[in-house]
């Protein structure tokens, strides 16, 4: 495209834009009105003598100079006449300016009042919306609290149901023991053989049943050992241990022993501690035995431990005890008695 064609194209574009503005914004109506008003002003000015004649223009512009001035300098005439009018009527200009300022101030006040009213309305709407939102948040919080309480109550109910089901339908093992050999105090050890059995008196099987036995000089030693067994957690990889079904017995026979010299020393220590400044007591003690089983419940990851405590004494009344001297006591002279302070614990 040549420069000439490019210029023609731009001129046509400007003409189309001007015509579009003329038609869309009503400029032609305004122009016609302005032309009519201008013509009317000229006509009225001529009729009323407002528009000056050529003689008046020459007189004012040239200030009494040439009588025949060559130009009709209306612009200079209007400027000089306007300046003279303003200079002689400055009070009127001040009045007009004051009125205009007052009008502007009033308009500004009215706009400020409207702005304040609108701002107040928006603030009240925002406050109302804030109250509604706050009420909604509070209602949502209450609903969440109620849901949490419901969930907690449901969890408690489920736990109670599970515990009740576990208590009524779980496996319960009962252990017992009896002597099957004489009690022997030889040079180094105190030994005896017992026959223990556990019976499942519950409604479901007990799995991974493992026996635990021990023979000690005093019940306090058994207590410490039982605490150790109770805290013990078996980790079974191959699920070792016996399964005891409801009403089934699981027997086991064990040889138990302990150090005889330690038993004798404990006899003397216990006698000295029990004397309490009075007459010395005979150094006698009773060999103590505990039998227990570790087991698990189906579907339960924890372990249960059931045990019973016994002590061996000579037959007779009151309890007689043993001093630890080397001897052998046949079955018809000894008896296995349960701990009077505690029964079977499960």
Indicate if 108 and 219 belong to the same structural domain. Answer: no
105 — pLDDT class (breaks 50, 70, 90): confident
Indicate if 269 and 229 belong to the same structural domain. Answer: yes
Cα separation, 196 vs 306, whole angstroms: 13
Does position 343 have pLDDT exceeding 70, yes or no? no
Q: Is 287 a member of any domain?
A: yes
Q: Which residues contact 100 (CB under 8 A, 6 or more apart)?
A: none
Candidate from 112-116, 234-238, 276-280 with smallest mean pLDDT: 234-238
23 — pLDDT class (breaks 50, 70, 90): low
Q: Is 161 a member of any domain?
A: yes
Does position 128 have pLDDT exceeding 60, yes or no? yes
Indicate if 191 and 159 belong to the same structural domain. Answer: no
The CATH number linked to 269 is 2.60.40.10
Q: What pLDDT does residue 235 have?
A: 46
Residue with tokens 């009018």: 85
Q: Is 116 a member of any domain?
A: yes
Greater pLDDT, 295 or 54: 295
Candidate from 66-80, 199-213, 262-276 with smallest mean pLDDT: 66-80
Q: Is 343 a member of any domain?
A: no
Q: What pLDDT does residue 48 have?
A: 45
- In order of 178, 201, 208, 238, the CA distances from 241 in angstroms are 23, 18, 4, 9
Phi then psi dihedrals of residue 302, to 5 deg: -85, 175
Indicate if 192 and 240 belong to the same structural domain. Answer: yes
Indicate if 123 and 263 belong to the same structural domain. Answer: no
Query: Whole-structure pTM over 0.75, yes or no?
Result: no
In our burial notation (b when 16+ CB lie closer than 10 A, e otherwise), range 123-162 reads eeeeeeeeeeeeeeeeeeeeeeeeeeeeeeeeeeeeeeee
Q: What pLDDT does residue 256 have?
A: 92
Which of 22-31, 55-64, 135-144, 189-198 is most confident? Answer: 189-198
**Predicted confidence (pLDDT) per residue in 220-268, tens digit:** 788 777 777 666 655 444 457 789 999 999 999 989 999 988 888 888 8
Q: What pLDDT does residue 87 have?
A: 66
Q: Is 194 a member of any domain?
A: yes
Q: How many CB atoms lie within 10 A of CB 213?
A: 16
Indicate if 217 and 324 belong to the same structural domain. Answer: yes
Does position 179 have pLDDT exceeding 50, yes or no? yes
Indicate if 245 and 332 belong to the same structural domain. Answer: yes
Q: What pLDDT does residue 248 have?
A: 93
Q: Is 345 a member of any domain?
A: no
Cα separation, 24 vs 22, whole angstroms: 6
Q: What pLDDT does residue 219 have?
A: 78
Q: Is 110 a member of any domain?
A: yes
96, 112, 135: which is the final residue of a domain?
Answer: 96
Q: Is 344 a member of any domain?
A: no
Residue with tokens 């779980």: 170
Does position 194 have pLDDT exceeding 90, yes or no? yes
Does position 192 have pLDDT exceeding 90, yes or no? yes
Indicate if 158 and 186 belong to the same structural domain. Answer: no
Indicate if 64 and 102 belong to the same structural domain. Answer: no
Indicate if 207 and 308 belong to the same structural domain. Answer: yes
117, 147, 169: which is the final residue of a domain?
Answer: 169
For the chain, the domain total comes to: 3
Q: How many CB atoms lie within 10 A of CB 214?
A: 19
Indicate if 143 and 206 belong to the same structural domain. Answer: no
Cα separation, 336 vs 345, whole angstroms: 18
**Predicted confidence (pLDDT) per residue in 282-318, tens digit:** 778 889 898 988 888 876 666 788 888 898 888 877 6
Q: What pLDDT does residue 191 have?
A: 92
| Structural domain span for residue 28 | 3-96
96, 112, 146: which is the final residue of a domain?
Answer: 96
Indicate if 299 and 317 belong to the same structural domain. Answer: yes
């Amino acid at each position: 495209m040549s420069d000439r064609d490019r210029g023609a194209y731009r001129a046509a574009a400007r003409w189309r834009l001007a015509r579009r503005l003329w038609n869309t914004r009503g400029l032609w109506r305004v122009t016609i009105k302005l032309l009519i008003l201008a013509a009317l002003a000229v006509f009225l000015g001529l009729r009323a003598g407002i528009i000056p004649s050529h003689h008046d223009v020459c007189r004012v512009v040239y200030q009494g100079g040439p009588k025949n001035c060559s130009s009709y300098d209306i612009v200079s005439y209007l400027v000089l006449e306007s300046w003279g009018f303003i200079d002689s009527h400055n009070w009127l200009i001040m009045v007009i300016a004051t009125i205009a300022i007052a009008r502007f101030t009033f308009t500004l006040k009215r706009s400020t009042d409207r702005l304040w009213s609108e701002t107040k309305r928006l603030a009240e709407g925002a406050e109302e919306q804030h109250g509604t939102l706050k009420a909604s948040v509070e209602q949502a919080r209450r609903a969440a609290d109620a849901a949490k309480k419901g969930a907690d109550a449901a969890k408690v109910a489920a736990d109670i149901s599970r515990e009740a089901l576990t208590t009524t339908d779980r496996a319960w093992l009962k252990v017992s023991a009896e002597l099957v050999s004489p009690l022997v105090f030889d040079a180094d050890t105190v030994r005896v053989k017992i026959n223990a059995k556990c019976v499942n008196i519950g409604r479901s099987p007990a799995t991974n049943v493992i026996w635990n036995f021990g023979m000690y000089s005093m019940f306090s030693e058994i207590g410490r050992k039982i605490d150790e067994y109770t805290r013990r957690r078996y980790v079974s990889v191959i699920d070792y241990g016996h399964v005891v079904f409801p009403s089934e017995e699981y027997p086991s026979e064990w040889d138990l022993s302990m150090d005889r010299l330690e038993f004798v020393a404990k006899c003397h220590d216990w006698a000295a501690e029990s004397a309490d400044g009075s007459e010395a007591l005979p150094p006698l003690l009773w060999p103590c035995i505990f039998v227990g089983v570790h087991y698990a419940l189906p579907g339960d990851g924890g372990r249960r431990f059931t045990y019973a405590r016994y002590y061996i004494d000579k037959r007779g009344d009151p309890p007689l005890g043993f001093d630890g001297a080397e001897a052998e006591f046949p079955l018809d002279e000894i008896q296995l008695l349960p701990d009077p302070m505690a029964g079977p614990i499960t």
